[in-house]
């Protein structure tokens, strides 16, 4: 309460007016959240009109301990300075505050002072706080994006799609980014405050938060928990008993809140889509336009030679030693839009940022920001990590057979496998946009492609043999989890003589990032292929064989090795088969009005020939309900339907999505979604 002799009675931050103007009203209407480079207004209430010759002064403090002090000038100033102007209106003063478009983002503390004519401080207001965010609507801001439709998606949309599956069978995973949910903005700055730089040199770190390059790189390091007090711990071995399976998450909000509530303790567990989803939430919340990206057949080149080398023995057992090169069925990262004033001209725009801990960059598990244009043009020396990202989308796949005497033979070379159908959600709806052309020029040996490879310092790999008499292809019927299905290996003899050969076919359960979980079946056959004819070898993959070892990603890799008798030529072919998943049915009953009760009915039918135990439904939706878990009512037998329902009250109007996941002991990652339009409560006259 103000002293009875004081002039200042209080300050109105005009949160509703300012937050609406700064497009932060979805975050909060009780607190002030504004964007840099755009003015905001305050109303100072006084007990009497201000004495005519007295002046107002404004002081800002920034940083965890308020270590950065900013004096706001009381007259128009250059664009790189804070300044304010004011209008007196009887017992009230309306102030308009102008911030530079390149000032650090963060939580500011603001104090107004009343100065005597000779400049002495007579009294001051109680400090008030406000968040200052990046401003992609401001031309002077380095994250400026001059397209309102893109900003609606890449800043304001709280729902999205993360793409999974395989290059030839793409699937989408609905994700609740929830960047405007309660307290998420506080958690985003809490993440920055827990970075090693913030803890070691807070004043320098605070000043560097003016730069989206610095902030986004810090976020990619902090989203994973490998080096620091980061958010998510990654795990890929299927052992999740001491945490949450990565497939169970349906959005970022539960993860961020769990990390914060535990005192910056890592959340177990995540995989690449979880890391990218959380990073997208944080960066959008801070005001940096961001979109999730999926690269299919994504290379993880551990030795930096721009090749992914697979080594097998003659029994098709992997004999790679140490850290293995791998091709992930898909890999998710994010792109953020910003200027790159730290680089030569031409590298502004989309920057790739990868928070999944794969390789160290400057001693830390992070990747980027890397200009997408640098990747496309082979400028692998550009900051940050352009060589690694270039390899993810361009590496050659080279397969070798290693013989008992240590000699090895190159049996296949594929220069088109890696980096296919690079995808993001369209800004125009819930469908896929292909952005492969942003990362690479058309393949098939184009002149531009060869020029880029040479520029990247890449030695063009050649297969060390010409075409042989035998050719091989692998085909398969649609594969549905829980059913038996056929895989057909076709061997064609294009020569003029009958050819005897040895064929080995294996099927292995793998994860999406190529980790083997177990062999399902193996077949070896001696065959003779007539001249100008084909031989078909059929392997029936039975659920009895693959069901016990299939990973939560529901992938089967079939590998076939063909060697013509008495000839040195060896052919190896490989195909990854995604198993189609069932879906949940979600129906919402009731009028979708803010604060009015709705009922969600969720049903699921067990498609497997086994009983499921420990079933859990996870439900969440930005503006609808906080993340909640519902236990399935008992075991679920083969073909049995289970139904659950929950009630919730929407908190915010607009297009909203309720996302549901089902996990059990032998079945994970079953998803469902309901879309509804929530209206504000009608005003009662």
Are 159 and 172 in contact, with CB atoms under 8 Å apart? Answer: no
Q: Poorest-confidence range of 19-28, 457-466, 567-576?
A: 457-466
Angle of CA points 55, 61, 66, to nearest 5°? 145
Residue of 157, 84, 169, 139 whose CA lies nearest to 429 = 157
Question: Residue 562: helix, strand or coil by DSSP?
Answer: strand
Q: How does pLDDT run across 611-663, given as a tens digit for each residue?
A: 999 999 999 999 999 999 999 999 999 999 999 999 999 999 999 999 999 99
Which pLDDT does position 1 carry in this prediction?
44
Rounded distance between C-alpha atoms, residue 483 and residue 389, angstroms:
38
Query: Is the bond leading into 269 cis (omega within 30 degrees of zero)?
Result: yes
- Alpha-carbon distance of 384 to 371, in angstroms, equals 8
- Percent of the chain scoring above 70 in pLDDT: 96
Give the three-class secondary structure for 663.
Answer: strand
- Tell whether omega for the bond before 384 is within 30 degrees of 0, i.e. cis: yes
Q: Mind listing the pLDDT tens digit for each residue in 327-373?
A: 899 999 999 999 999 999 999 999 999 999 888 877 788 999 999 99
In angstroms, the Cα distances linking 66 to 107, 204, 400 are: 9, 13, 60
The pLDDT, as a whole number, for residue 460 is 53
- pLDDT for 298 beyond 90: yes
Six-digit token pair at 260? 């914060």
Per-residue pLDDT tens digits for 192-245? 999 999 999 999 999 999 999 999 999 999 999 987 899 999 999 999 999 999
The predicted structure's pLDDT at residue 465: 54
| CA gap 646, 631 in Å, rounded | 11
Catalytic residue ranges? 272, 331, 354
Mean pLDDT, range 525-550, rounded to an integer: 92
The number of residues in the chain equals 685
Q: Given a cut of 60, is residue 464 above it in pLDDT?
A: no
């Amino acid at each position: 309460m103000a002293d009875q002799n004081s002039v200042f009675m209080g300050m109105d931050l005009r949160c509703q007016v300012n937050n609406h103007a700064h497009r932060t009203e979805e975050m909060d209407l009780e607190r002030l959240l504004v964007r840099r480079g755009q003015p905001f207004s305050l109303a100072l209430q006084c007990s009497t009109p201000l004495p005519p010759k007295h002046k107002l002064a404004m002081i800002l403090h920034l940083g965890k301990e308020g270590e950065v002090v900013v004096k706001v000038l009381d007259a128009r100033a250059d664009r790189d300075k804070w300044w304010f102007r004011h209008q007196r209106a009887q017992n009230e003063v309306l102030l308009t505050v102008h911030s530079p478009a390149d000032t650090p983002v963060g939580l500011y503390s603001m104090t107004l002072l009343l100065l005597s004519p000779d400049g002495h401080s007579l009294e001051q207001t109680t400090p008030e706080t406000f968040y200052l965010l990046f401003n992609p609507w401001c031309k002077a801001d380095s994250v400026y994006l001059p397209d309102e439709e893109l900003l609606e998606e890449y800043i304001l949309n709280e729902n999205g799609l993360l793409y999974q599956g395989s290059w030839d069978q793409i699937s989408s995973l609905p994700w609740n980014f929830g960047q405007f949910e309660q307290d998420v903005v506080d958690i985003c700055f809490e993440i920055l405050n827990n970075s090693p730089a913030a803890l070691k040199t807070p004043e320098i770190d605070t000043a560097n938060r003016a730069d989206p390059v610095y902030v986004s790189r810090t976020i990619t390091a902090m989203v994973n928990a490998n080096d620091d007090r980061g958010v998510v711990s990654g795990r890929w071995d299927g052992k999740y008993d001491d945490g949450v399976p990565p497939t169970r998450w349906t959005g970022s909000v539960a993860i961020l809140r769990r990390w914060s509530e535990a005192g910056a303790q890592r959340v177990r567990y995540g995989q690449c889509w979880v890391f990218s989803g959380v990073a997208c939430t944080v960066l959008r919340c801070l005001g940096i336009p961001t979109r999730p990206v999926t690269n299919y057949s994504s290379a993880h080149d551990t030795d930096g030679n721009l090749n992914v080398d697979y080594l097998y023995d003659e029994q098709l057992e992997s004999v790679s030693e140490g850290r293995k090169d791998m091709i992930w069925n898909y890999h998710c990262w994010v792109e953020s839009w910003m200027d790159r004033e730290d680089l030569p001209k031409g590298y502004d725009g989309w920057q790739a940022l990868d928070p999944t801990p794969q390789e160290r960059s400057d001693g830390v598990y992070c990747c980027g920001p890397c200009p997408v244009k640098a990747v496309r043009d082979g400028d692998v020396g550009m900051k940050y990590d352009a060589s690694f990202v270039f390899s993810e989308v361009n590496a050659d796949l080279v397969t070798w057979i290693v013989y008992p005497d240590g000699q090895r033979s190159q049996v296949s070379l594929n220069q088109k496998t890696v980096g296919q159908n690079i995808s993001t959600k369209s800004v125009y709806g819930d469908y896929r946009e292909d952005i492969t052309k942003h990362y690479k020029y058309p393949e098939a040996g184009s002149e531009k492609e060869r020029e880029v490879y040479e520029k990247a310092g890449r030695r063009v790999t050649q297969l060390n043999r010409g075409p042989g008499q035998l050719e091989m292809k692998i085909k398969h019927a649609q594969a549905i989890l829980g059913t038996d299905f056929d895989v057909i290996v076709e061997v064609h003899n294009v020569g003029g003589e009958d050819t005897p050969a040895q064929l080995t076919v294996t099927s292995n359960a793998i994860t999406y990032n190529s980790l083997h979980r177990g062999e399902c079946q193996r077949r070896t056959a001696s065959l003779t292929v007539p001249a100008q004819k084909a031989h078909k070898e059929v392997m029936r993959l039975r659920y009895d064989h693959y069901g016990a070892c299939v990973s939560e990603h529901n992938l089967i890799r079939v590998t076939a090795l063909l060697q013509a008798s008495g000839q040195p030529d060896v052919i190896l072919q490989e195909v990854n088969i995604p198993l189609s998943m069932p879906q949940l049915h979600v129906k919402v009953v009731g009028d979708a009005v803010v604060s009015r009760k709705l009922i969600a009915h969720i049903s699921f039918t067990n498609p497997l020939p086994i009983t499921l135990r420990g079933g859990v439904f996870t439900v969440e939706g930005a503006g609808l309900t906080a993340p909640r878990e519902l236990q399935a009512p008992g075991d679920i037998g083969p073909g049995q339907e289970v139904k659950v329902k929950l009630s919730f009250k929407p908190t915010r109007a607009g297009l909203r999505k309720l996302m549901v996941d089902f996990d059990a002991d032998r079945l994970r990652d079953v998803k469902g979604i309901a879309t509804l339009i929530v209206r504000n409560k009608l005003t009662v006259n």
